[in-house]
Amino acid sequence: GIDWNPFDALYTELFAWRHCACIYYQDWHRTKRPKPAAEGNILPGVSSAISSRPNSHPEPPSRSAFSSPRSTLQSNSGVAVAYQESSTSGQGKTPTPSSSGLPFDEEAKLVYGVVSSLRNMIKKLSGRDETFVTYKTSTYRLHLFETLSGYKFIMLSDPHSDSMRFVLRQIYSGPFIEYVVRNPLMDMDSKEHGIDNEHFRNATDRLMRNLSVFQ
């Protein structure tokens, strides 16, 4: 489940999808940490915050995104043991270490399932060129931006937020082009690996924090 907390009006989650698999995840101001995905259910390189961890490690204390020079620490086995945590807005509370109900891979699958079903339904109703762009429930709003090349950027936000499609478009034409497309070491068309990298994550973070809605 996706929990909405009235003190957390700036809650935001970002997913990127390619070839029907989740290739990237980032969030801001979630009250509860997403539960790590079960082993093998999520591609490597999506987000160190939700990778499966075979051993249980105590969660590190939260650090401000701007003070830490490195956003992740890797153990020898390549499993992330610490991750960048965007601190909640200044109500003075630290995020609780408890997890939300669903493991991340199931949450992602649900999100994609809804999006996929709605897209197919709209196409049947209205034809190839129409696509749905947003829906809203009592607890969140979902925004979809899809490129002609098959990348789907999905954002979940506070239900009272305005359309975030322009933000998704800015993430695509800004950080994504600069740090994923133009990085020769990033595999563009991989079905086995996500697109998480430090520059992309930080640039997206900066873009989000600079939005007037966060100020």
Partner 1 sequence: MSTKHKSIGEDLWKTRTDKINAELFAFTYGALVVQLIQDYEDYAEVNKQLELMGYNIGIRLIEDFLARSSLGRCTDFKEVGEVVAKVGFKTFLNVVPSITHAATSKNPLAEFVELPEEALDGGLWFSNVFCGVLRGCLEMVQMQVEAKFLSDVLRGDETTEVKVTLLRHLEEEMPAGDD
Q: Is 125 in the site for partner 1 (CB under 8 A)?
A: no
Residues 105-124, mask of contacts with partner 1 (x by CB under 8 A) = -------xx--x--------
Q: DSSP of 169-193, one letter per residue?
A: HHHIIIIIIIIIIT-TTS-TT-SS-
62-83 b/e (C-beta count within 10 Å ≥ 16 → b): eeebeeeeebbeeeeeeebbbb
Interface residue with partner 1, options 69, 91, 189, 212 (CB under 8 A):
189
Helix (H) or strand (E) run with residue 26 in it:
strand 21-28
Q: Is 129 in the site for partner 1 (CB under 8 A)?
A: yes
Q: Is 176 in the site for partner 1 (CB under 8 A)?
A: yes
Nearer to partner 1, 119 or 209 (CB): 119
**Phi-psi category of residue 149: left, alpha or beta, with phi > 0 → left and psi -120 to 50 → alpha:** alpha
| Nearest-approach distance from CB 19 to partner 1, in angstroms | 6
Q: Is 206 in the site for partner 1 (CB under 8 A)?
A: no
Q: Which two tokens stand for residue 112?
A: 């994609």
Binding site for partner 1 (CB under 8 A): 19-20, 112-113, 116, 129, 147-151, 172-173, 176-177, 181-182, 188-189
